[in-house]
Copies of this chain bind each other. A is one copy, B any other.
Amino acid sequence: MGNCLVAQSGGPTAVINATLAGVIRANQLNPIYDRVFGGIGGIEGVLNGALYDLTNLTSHELDLLKQTPSSTLGTCRYKMRRDNPADFERLLNVLDDANIDAMFYIGGNDSMDTVAAMAEYSITHGSGKRFIGIPKTVDNDLMNVDHCPGFASAAKVANQIVHATALDYAAYTRPEVFVLETMGRDAGWLAASCCVTGDVDLVVLPEVDFDRDSFLDQVKACMEAKGECYIVVSEGAHYADGTYVSAGKSEDDGFSHAVLGGAGAVIKQMIIDAHIAPRGLVQDLSRAARSSNFAQSLVDVTEAYELGLSAHMRSAHPDFTAQVVGVAPRSAEEIAAGEYNARFFARPARELANYVRHFPTEWILPDYRGVTDEALSYFRPLIEGEPKLIMEGGIPATLPPFSRR
C-alpha cells in the first residue's frame, strides 16, 4: 500500500484543520494508505519535501485539531503554474520519494486549479498519482458549490460582532456613524452575511460599483430617519472604474491581487467630510473573523470534517482524481423553504477553479439597503449551532502548529 499526503493552501479559516482531521480519521477507520503525511508550509514546503507523519494522531489530538484555527500545517502564497512544468515534475518526484499515491489539497480557487493541473500532468505523464481537492475559503467564492467550509464560521463571528457592536453603538445618543469592514476581496459574501442579525442599515459590496454621491445620500437619509447608521463594507468595494474604495493601500501580494484594507476608514472619513455626521467609528474584523475558533459554526465544522472523511473514502477508487469534494448547491426552493440538509458530491476540479463566484446580484437590494429575504434564508442555516469546545485557561484548547515541531 502507498501513502497519501494532505496539504493546506491559501488563507487560514476556523475549520480548515477539521478537514485535515477528517482525512486522518478516515484513514484510521479504513487504513487504505500506509501513512498520512501532512505537507508543512503549503505547496512550497511540499516541493521542498517538508512532510510530517500524521497517521497516528490520537483521538484527543484530532478533537483539538477540529477546533484549532488557522492552517496548522502552515501555508504559503506560492502558486503552481501551468507554464512552469518544472514545479510539476518536482512535486511528482517528492511524491515518488515518499511513496505517495494520492494528494489531498485543501484550498480555494487557485488550489483547485492546481489540483486540476497536477492531475492532468500526472495522467499525461503516466505517473499514476492522484490529486483531490477539498474547498475552504472564508470568501465563499468557489463556483458550483453551495458554500465553502470556513465561510460559515466567519459569517457567524461576523454576525456576533455585528450584533454586539450594534448594541454598543445604540447605547449612545450622539450623532455618529458606525462602519464595520469585512474581508472579501472580489466577492461580498461575508459582508452580505452581516445582514442576518437585522442590525445593518447599509451594505457596500464589491458586486455593485460604488457611487459616492448616491451612497452618501443613503447615509444622510438614514441618519435623518434614525439618528444612526450602521454600515458594513467589504474590503473589495470599488468604484465603476475599478479603483478600490480603500485606494492607496493596495500592494502586490504575489498573486496579482491587491492586498486591501482600510475601506471602512475611508468611508467613515467620506461621511465626516460630507458633514453628514461629525464622527464615526470603524471596526475592522480583519483576521479575527477568519480564525474564529471561539465561534465555530457547528454546521461548518461538521461539514469540514466530513468533507475530509468523504474525500478520503472516495479516493479508495483508483480512478478518483482531478475531483473536488464539496457541498452540493441547494435549490432555490430549498433555500426559500429554509430547509438545510447538506449533500456532498464530487465535481471535476476544473469546474470549481479560477472563476470567482460573486454574491448574486439578484439578492442585493438597491441603494445599499442590504440583501433579500432569499439571501437571508441562504445564510441562516449555515451559522446555526455551536460545537462543544474543549476549553483550557479560558480559551479553546488548540494543537500547536506542526510547522513548529
Spell out A's residues near B (CB within 8 Å): 8, 12, 14, 41, 44, 68-72, 74-77, 156-157, 159-161, 163-165, 167-174, 196-197, 251, 279, 281-288, 290-295, 297, 380, 383-386, 391, 393-396, 398, 401, 403-404
Question: How many copies of this chain are found per oligomer?
Answer: 2
Q: Which residues of chain B have C-beta atoms less than 8 A from A394's C-beta?
A: 156, 159, 196, 297, 380, 383-385
15 additional A-B pairs beyond A12-B167, A69-B164, beta carbons within 8 Å, are A69-B168, A70-B164, A70-B171, A74-B173, A75-B172, A159-B395, A163-B396, A164-B292, A164-B294, A165-B288, A167-B291, A170-B404, A281-B286, A281-B287, A284-B284
Residues from chain B with Cβ under 8 Å of A160 in the complex: 294, 395-396
Smallest beta-carbon distance A318→chain B, Å: 33
Docked pose: A393 CA to B195 CA in angstroms: 12
Question: Min CB distance, A162 to chain B, in Å?
Answer: 9
Complex Cα gap A170–B164 (Å): 28
Q: Complex: how many Å from CA A284 to CA B179? A: 13
Residues of B within 8 A of A386 (CB): 391
| B398 with A167: CB separation less than 8 A | yes
Q: Quick one: which of A12, A157, A283 has the most chain B CB within 10 A?
A: A12
- A171–B12 CB distance below 8 A: yes
Q: Which of B12, B77, B283 contacts A174 (CB 8 A)?
A: B77
- Most chain-B Cβ atoms within 10 A of its Cβ — which of A44, A160, A284, A285? A160
**How many Å lie between the Cα of A177 and that of B133 in the bound state?**
31
Residues of B within 8 A of A165 (CB): 287-288, 291
Given the complex of chains A and B, what is the CA–CA distance between A159 and B74 in angstroms?
Answer: 22
Measured CB to CB, the nearest residue on chain B to A155 is: B394
The 4 closest A-B pairs by CB, nearest first: A383-B394, A70-B167, A164-B291, A168-B291
Report whether B156 and A12 are in contact in the complex, using a CB–CB cutoff of 8 Å: no
Name the contact of A287 in the complex, choosing from B159, B283, B291 (C-beta under 8 A): B283
